[in-house]
Amino acid sequence: MPGILPDIFDSYVPIQGGHADMTVAARHLSGAWDSPAPDAPAVTTLATELATKFDKAEHPRAAKGEHGGEFVKKGSGGTNEAGEPDHEAADPDANRPSRPDNRHPGAAPKPLAWTAPPPKKGKKGEGMRARPKGDKSQTKTGDRAEAAARSLGFRSILGGKRSHAAGEVKSKGSSIDTEYDHSGRAYELKMCQTTSTEYRLKAKKQEKDDKLKYARKNKLTAYTLVGVYNPDAGEIHFYAAKKPGLIGSEVNERDFDFVGKAAM
């Protein structure tokens, strides 16, 4: 029947008036009339209406080869919330250890002039302090410390979860928090507060062995990163170990480099 496909695909009929309007619409779409009957509902061009409602800025199309060429949500994929290129989202190794063929040779934290960590307020022998809860819990504070470390070039490689399940640890090892850039240098971050009595990584031998296994599995070199958070100043100081390994020594100028501080 002539006119069926153009009418079906190029236009549609709003059905508002019940059976009578539906009959008129059906006749029009079937080609029974060369033009709409005088009492037929107005025919709106579907493409025209969609064009007026569709905002390309709110539905950016990813570049060919990214996300399968599909439309992506603004603020993820191709752009960030400001509409600027989102380099982290475009990185094939985002939130995971970098692959050897995507490494940046020579990338490493830059040592700065030595700055001693803020003085400790905690004193040995005072007994256990009440464990903070909510936004001040150790987990939440640790998450903020990782976010602050990103401003210095340490990116999360946790892949959306903090640790492997017990069954996975045996085969994959125990995950490490961050990697500096795409250097292959993985840093286990120990966040300490000024209320602590020690500024150091405290881990059992098995815990260290599991993290070293993870590093080997991903062709990474494991290092230690200590963050000292001063709530009064609202900032955290970062100290990166000079040598590979999960070292448990107190932060000191011999074993660590001061690599910067960030608001927190």
Residue-wise burial string across 33-49, b where 16 or more C-beta atoms lie within 10 A, e elsewhere = eeeeeeebbebeeeeee
User: What is the spatial distance between Cα 209 and Cα 234, in angstroms, rounded to a whole number?
Assistant: 34
> Which helix or strand (DSSP H or E) is residue 263 part of?
strand 256-263
**pLDDT at residue number 145:** 96
Are residues 85 and 160 both part of a single domain? no
Are residues 17 and 83 both part of a single domain? no
Are residues 212 and 139 both part of a single domain? yes
Are residues 38 and 119 both part of a single domain? no
The total number of residues written for the chain in this structure: 264
Are residues 70 and 98 both part of a single domain? no
Are residues 41 and 14 both part of a single domain? yes
Q: Strand, helix or coil at 113?
A: coil
Sign of CA dihedral 142, 143, 149, 151: negative
Are residues 199 and 229 both part of a single domain? yes
- Residue whose tokens read 């390309």: 56
**pLDDT at residue number 199:** 97
Other residues' Cβ atoms within 10 Å of the Cβ of residue 226? 24
Cβ contacts of 220 within 8 Å, gap of 6 or more: 97, 176, 179, 184, 185, 186, 214
- Whether the CB-CB separation of 256 and 117 falls below 8 Å is answered with no
Are residues 120 and 249 both part of a single domain? yes
Are residues 144 and 117 both part of a single domain? yes
Q: How many domains does the chain have?
A: 3
- From the number of C-beta atoms within 10 Å of its C-beta (0-12, 13-18, 19+), residue 76 rates as middle
Are residues 61 and 29 both part of a single domain? no
**pLDDT at residue number 131:** 64
- Residue whose tokens read 């002539």: 2
Are residues 240 and 109 both part of a single domain? yes
Are residues 162 and 85 both part of a single domain? no
pTM of this prediction?
A: 0.64
Per-residue pLDDT of the chain (264 residues; tens, 9 = 90+): 444 444 443 444 444 444 444 443 444 444 444 444 445 444 445 445 544 554 544 444 434 333 333 333 333 344 444 454 444 557 888 899 999 999 999 999 999 999 999 999 876 665 555 566 666 777 789 899 999 999 999 999 997 665 666 678 888 899 999 999 999 999 999 999 999 999 999 999 999 999 999 999 999 999 999 999 999 999 999 999 999 999 999 999 999 999 999 999
Domain enclosing residue 59, as ranges:
55-90
- Whether the CB-CB separation of 246 and 203 falls below 8 Å is answered with yes
DSSP letter, residue 135: G
User: What is the spatial distance between Cα 261 and Cα 151, in angstroms, rounded to a whole number?
Assistant: 9
